[in-house]
Chain A
Amino acid sequence: METKKFIELFKNVEVYDSIPALFLVDVSAIVISDLHLGYEVAMAEKGIFLPKIQYEKEVALLKRLSEFKFKTLVLNGDIKYEFSESSYHEYKEVLNFLDYVKTKFKNIVIVRGNHDTFITRVTKKFQLEVVDEIKINKYLITHGHILPESFFDKDWETIIIGHEHPSIALFDELGIKDKLECFLYGKLADGRNLVVSPAFSYVSTGSEINLLPKEELLSPILREYALVDELKVLAIDEEAGPLYFGKLGNLRNIT
C-alpha cells in the first residue's frame, strides 16, 4: 500500500502505520490506553500459565513511539490488568514500565481506568499524579468507563477514550472470520469529535464492535452520547497495515 505513513483522523489527530496510539500533533502528545500490564501473572494466579510476552512487546512499541520525539505521553487508563490489589509481580511490571517511559518522555500523564485501583502504590514512587481526566488544549482525554466531570464543559472539541477495545470481525465468502483491531472516530450527538483508541495490550481480544448492538457497548459515552453508526473505522494490522472501512453502520449492514 503506497500511502504516507501518517493518517489523519481529525486535524492534528493522527495515526501512524499500525501502531495502536494516537498522535496529537499540535500539542506534541501521544495517547495510548489499555496496556493491561501484569496480565500473564494474573492469569497464572487463575491457573492459566501463559509465557510472559506482553511487557516486552509493549516496551518495544514504546521505544518506537519515543523516536517521534513527542513531549507528552498520556497513558489513558487500564495500565494494569488486575482489579484487586496488585500482586508483587504486577507491581514490578508497572514499576519497570514507568521507569522506562520516564526516560523516553518529558511529561507523563496517567489517567485512571477501571482496572487501576491501587495504582497509586506505584505512581507515587515517581511523583506522578493519577487523574480521572485531563484536558490538553481542546482535547479531553479520559478512559471512558464513566462519564467524566468535564464532559458537559464547552471548552473542549475532541474527546479521546479507550476502554472499549474496539475491533471488527470480517467474514469472507467461505465464512472465515478475521478479527482486526481498530480506531473509531466521528461525532458525538452534540457535534463534537470522538476518538476511541484500540487497546495497546498485546493480548487484548477486543469487542467485535460491528457485531454488537449499541446497548451492549461498554462505554456510556458511546452508548448514550455518540452517533455510533456514523463512526468511521480504521483497522490496524501489523502485516496488512492500516485499512479504512468507512462507516461502522455500513459495516454492520454487510456482516
Chain B
Amino acid sequence: MLKMDSLSENSFIFLRKPFSREESLSVLQPYVRAWFEKNFEDLTPPQRFSLKLVSEGKNVIITGPTGSGKTLAAFLSILSELFKLGEKGELLDSIYVVYISPLKALDNDIKKNLMIPLTEIRKLASENGITLPEIRISLRTGDVSSSEKQSQLKLPPHILITTPESLAVILNAPKFSAYLKTVRWIVVDEIHELASNKRGVHLSLSLERLQNLVGSRIVRIGLGATLHPLSEAAKFLVGYENNAPRECYIVDVSWDKRYDLKLITPVKSLIYSSADELNESLYNILNKIISKGKTTLIFTNTRSGTERVVFHLKEKWGDKYNDQNLGAHHGSLSRDIRLEVENKLKNGQMKAVVSSTSLELGIDVGFIDQVVQIGSPKSVSRAIQRIGRSGHGFKDVAKGIFIAMDRDDLVELMVMLQEARSRHLDSIEVPKKPLDILAQHVVGMSLTKKWSVEEALSLIRSCYAYRELTEDEFVSLLRYLAGEYVELEDRKVYGKIWFDPSDGTFGRRGKYTRVIYYLNIGAIPDEVKVDVYRLPNKKFIGGIEESFLERLRPGDIFVLGGKLYKFRYARAMKCYVEPAPKGSSPTIPSWFSEMLPLSFELALQIQKFRENLRNMLVGGKRKLEIIQWLRSSFSVSKDVANEVYAYFKEQYLYTRTIPGYMEILIEKTRDERSNYLVFHALFGRRVNDALSRFFSILVSDELRKNIGIVISDTGFALILPRSYNLDLQKLIEKSKLMDLESVLKDNVRRTELMKRRFRHCAARSFLVLRNYKGYKISVNKQQLSSQTILNIIEDKDPDFPVLRETYREILQDVMDLKRANLVLDWIKEGKLKIRTIETNIPSPFAHNLIVLGEEDVVLMRDKKKRLLELHEKIMKKISALE
C-alpha cells in the first residue's frame, strides 16, 4: 500500500517523498534486482518513486532532467513483470508494452538502451539456473521496411517502440492490430514536447482508441522534462473516465538538477555597436567558448540562424573547424545528415553542434561541456531544457551561457534566468477540440467497425482535449466526412464515411479510404512550396513558400540558399527569378518567420521588473545603487547591469516615464517613413498578435484606411497614414464595447496567416490530400492556390468544420485569445491603466519594437472602397506617365 507524504489534487497525487531502496527493489524479480544491483550503485531519484508505483499498476508522470535514469525508471518494473510471465510460461507472442516518442532518433536510442538489460538479465538468470524466454523488442516507425513489418506480423515483439503517427497506422492495421489487444503498459516519452500541440492531441486519441481495443485499463507512464502545470500534463496523459480525470501519480524530480546560468553580451554597448561589430564579436566569443571545452552545443532560435553560425565559424577559422567537427542540426536537414551529426556527437568527435530546436529533445548526445544559447529562448522551460543537455549525468552541474543580441533580449534574459533560478516555469495548455485531428481518427475508427455516435463520443470525450466536445460539433464533423456538402450522387467520391442520422450510426465508405488514412495521417503540415527557376534557362534552384510568393512583386529581391535573387514573375505556382545585381540588398523582410513567442508569465515578470526600475529612477536612486541592485538581485555582471541601466535611463530621460506592471503606454510618434502609434504592451507575441489586430481594426474603421502593424513580444505599433486625425481616448472607450473574438475572426479572414493555416487544417482534415490513389500529390503541382480553395469553402458554408478549426487554431494556438481577453477585461475593470505620450522620434523602447517586430497588415473592411481608392491612386500614377 502507498503511504506517503503526498498532496492530492482530486485524481492526481503529487509525491514528495520517495520510497526506500528496499521498498523499491523488492518489487523486482530476484534476477532483475540482482542485475540492477550489479550494475548500479543506487537508484536515481525518479527510480526511487517509479519502481513501486509501476509495479502496482499506477498511472504515473515522471519529470526530471536528462540522464536521470528515466527510461529504466519506467521500464524496470515492466521488464520484471514480463520476465515473471515468461518464467511462468504465460508470455504470449503478442505486444505488452507500447513506447511512443516524438522522435525516430529517440526510438532508436531506446531500443539500444533496453537491449542491454534484456540480454544481461536473461544471461544472469540462466547462470542461476533460471531459463527465461527472450523478450523481443522492435521498432515500428516510418523508416521501418515492409519486410521487417512482415516479420513482425509473423512474430510480434513484446515491446513495440513507435511514434504517434505509426501508432495511429497500426491501430488500423487489420492483422497486426490484433497483437495490440494484449497491451498492458503505454510509455509516452518527451511528454513536454507533445502535451501542448496537435501532435500530442493526435496521440491522446490514439491512446483512447488503443484502450478501447484492449477493452480494459492500460497503465500509462509519461516521461519528460519538467513542465507546468503538471496536472495539465497528467490530464493529457491519462484522460477522463466518468467525468473525472483518471488517477495519476505525479513525480517531479526535475529540480534536483543544478544549473549554472550565465548571461553575457557580445559587446559592451548593444546600441552603439554596428551589426558587423556585434556579429564579429559574437563569433569571437563562440570560438573562445568552443575552444575551452571538448564539446559545445549551441542553440539559435531559427534554422537560418543555425546555418549562419556554422557558416561563419567555418569561414573565420577554417583551419580549426570543418565538416568533421562542426555541424548544424535542424529539422530541414536530411535524415542522413542529422544521424551523422548525432553519431559524431555521441562519439565525442564534434567540437560544436549548432541547432535550432531539434537537439532539445532527449536524443543521446554524449558528453556536452556547455550549452550556449544565442538570443532569448523565450521561455523558462525551454531555457532549462536546453541547458539541461550539458553535463554527464543529472548530478553534474549543467552549464549554460546566454548571449543577448539586443537590449530587449538582455532584459528578457536577465529576468528569465532569475525566474529559472527561482523555479518559476511558464505554463502549457493542451489545444482544445481540434476538429482536424478528430477528423483523422473518426476516419480511422470507421475503418474498424460500425459506430454509434454515442459510443464514439464516449471514447473521444475520454480524451482531455475533447472533453467538452458537443454532440452538435461532432455530428457536423460526421456530416462533413460523409460528404454531405455535395449532392448525394457525388458522395461516393467525396465521402470517407457514411453517416446515418436516423439511427445515429456511422462507418467506413469508399474503396480508397483506408489508403487515404494510411498515407495522410499526422499533425505536422507540409508547407506549400513553389518551385523557383532561374532565368533565362529556367534552371530549378529551390523552393519558397506559397505565402511568400503572394507578397512578391516584380523587382523584389530576396535570399534563397544564401544567394540574392530578383523576382521577375510567377506562373501556375512556379516562380521565375534572375540573379540580383551586385551590391543590391533584399527588399523583402522575413514576413513569415514564425518566431518563438515570449511566454505570458515571463512577460508579466518583465513588466514588474520595468516597474521596479522605474520606481528607482523616479525616486532619484543613484546609478551606483541601481547597478548594485541589478547585480545582486539578478546575479549579472557589471557590464550587463550597466547596459540594462543605460537602456532604462535613456528611455526615462526621453519620455520621463517607463511603462510598468499592469500598464499599457501608448506612444504617438513618427519617423522619416511613417506615423506610428506604439503600444508598449508587454504581454508576449501571442497576446499582442490579437491585441494589435483588435486595435488596428478599430483604427482602420475610424480612419477608413489600411493599417500596417508591427508586432513584437514587448508591444506593437500601428503604422498610420502621413496625416490623420484620431481621438485616442475615444478609441480606448470604443475598445471596451467590442467583442475581441468576433472582431478578430473578421480580420483574420483576410490575412496570409489564414490562407496558410487553412491549408494546414485542410490537409489534416483530409479535405486536401497530400497522397491519393497511391501517388504523392506534390502541393506545387496542384496549381490551386490556398486562396481559391478558401474562397470556395467560405462561399459554400462559413461554418464549415475545416474553416472553424482554422479560426480556432489561429485564435487559440497561434494567438492567445484567452489572455488577450483577460487583458481587455483588466482594461474594462480599470485594473490595467492606459497612459499616452507623444514623441517626435520613437523612444528607445519603441525603436527596438519598430525595427525588430514582425510586420503585417490589417486591411480596410470595405473592399469596394479599398479597390476604388487603389484604382484612383493607380490612375493618378498612370496619368503622370502619359
Contact = CB atoms under 8 A, between A and B. Distances in A.
Interface of A: 1, 40-41, 43-53, 89, 169-178, 180, 203, 205, 207-208, 211-213, 216, 237, 239-240, 243, 245-247, 250-251, 253-255
A186 B857 CA distance: 37
Contacts of B387: none
B203 to A, nearest CB: 25
Contact of B789 (A50, A175, A180, A250): A50
B777 A240 contact: no
B443 to A, nearest CB: 13
A203 B791 CA distance: 9
12 contacts: A40-B792, A44-B494, A47-B769, A47-B773, A48-B768, A48-B769, A51-B485, A52-B486, A178-B867, A216-B569, A247-B878, A251-B878
A104 to B, nearest CB: 23
Contacts of B569: 208, 211-213, 216
Interface in B72-94: none
Given A211-B570, A245-B875, A49 B494 contact: yes
Tell me whether chain A's interface is mostly helix, strand or loop, or mixed: mixed
B863 interface: yes
Interface in B478-525: 483, 485-487, 489-490, 493-494, 516
A94 to B, nearest CB: 15
A205 B573 CA distance: 11
B154 interface: no
Nearest to B706: A174
B319 interface: no
Contact of B874 (A170, A207, A211): A170
Contacts of B418: none
Given A51-B796, A216-B569, A245-B871, 12 more contacts: A41-B493, A46-B777, A47-B769, A47-B770, A47-B777, A48-B769, A51-B485, A51-B486, A178-B870, A205-B788, A240-B863, A247-B878
Nearest to A169: B553
Interface in B753-808: 766-773, 777, 782, 784-785, 787-789, 791-793, 795-797, 800
A185 to B, nearest CB: 17
B625 interface: no
A243 B857 CA distance: 24
Nearest to B486: A52
B144 to A, nearest CB: 26
B792 to A, nearest CB: 5
Given A205-B788, A212-B569, A172 B767 contact: no
A229 to B, nearest CB: 12
Contacts of A251: 874, 878
B244 to A, nearest CB: 39
Given A53-B795, A245-B875, A239 B881 contact: no
Which 9 A-B pairs give the minimum distances between C-beta atoms?
A47-B772, A47-B769, A240-B867, A51-B796, A239-B864, A250-B878, A51-B485, A243-B871, A240-B864
Contact of B768 (A47, A53, A171, A237): A47
A240 to B, nearest CB: 4
B288 interface: no
B366 interface: no
Contacts of A177: 550-551, 553
A174 B483 contact: no
A50 B791 CA distance: 10
A89 B483 CA distance: 15
Nearest to A92: B489
Contacts, number: 130
A81 B864 CA distance: 31
Contacts of B553: 169, 171, 175, 177, 211, 255
Interface in B516-553: 516, 550-551, 553
A169 B867 CA distance: 12
A175 B551 contact: yes
Give the interface centre of B773, B785, B871 by most chain A CB atoms within 10 Å: B871
A254 to B, nearest CB: 5
B868 A44 contact: no
A216 B788 contact: no
Nearest to A168: B874
B790 to A, nearest CB: 10
B871 A53 contact: no
A211 B554 contact: yes
A173 B570 CA distance: 21
B171 to A, nearest CB: 23
B882 interface: yes
Interface string B707-744: 01000000000010000000000000000000000000
Contact of A46 (B487, B550, B772, B800): B772
A92 B793 CA distance: 23
A49 B767 contact: yes
A46 B800 CA distance: 21
Nearest to A176: B857
A171 B787 CA distance: 17
Given A47-B769, A52-B490, A254 B874 contact: yes
Contacts of A40: 486, 792
A156 B859 CA distance: 47
Give the interface centre of B487, B554, B787 by most chain A CB atoms within 10 Å: B554
A79 to B, nearest CB: 20
B877 interface: yes
B111 interface: no
A172 B870 contact: yes
A51 B797 contact: yes
A180 B797 contact: no
Interface string B38-73: 000000000000000000000000000000000000
A205 B796 contact: no
Given A203-B792, A239-B863, A89 B490 contact: yes
A79 B789 CA distance: 21
B571 interface: yes
Contacts of B554: 211, 255
A52 B784 contact: no
A250 B859 CA distance: 26
B749 to A, nearest CB: 14
A133 B8 CA distance: 83
Contacts of B873: 172-173
A237 B867 CA distance: 9
A253 B719 CA distance: 27
Nearest to B868: A240
Interface string B559-603: 000000000111100000000000000000000000000000000
Nearest to B493: A44
A164 B875 CA distance: 24
Contacts of B864: 239-240
B487 A245 contact: no
Contact of A216 (B571, B766, B771, B773): B571
A29 B617 CA distance: 81
A109 B867 CA distance: 36
A211 B572 CA distance: 13
A239 B861 CA distance: 13
A41 B571 contact: no
Give the interface centre of A47, A89, A208 by most chain B CB atoms within 10 Å: A47
A89 B554 CA distance: 40
Contacts of B785: 205
Contact of A51 (B773, B793, B870): B793
B213 to A, nearest CB: 29
A253 B791 CA distance: 30
Nearest to B856: A174
B789 to A, nearest CB: 6
A62 to B, nearest CB: 18
Nearest to A212: B569
A172 B706 contact: yes
A255 B882 CA distance: 15
Contacts of B878: 245-247, 250-251, 254
Contacts of A172: 706, 866, 870, 873
A142 to B, nearest CB: 23
A215 B489 CA distance: 44
Interface in B833-882: 857, 859, 863-864, 866-868, 870-871, 873-875, 877-878, 881-882
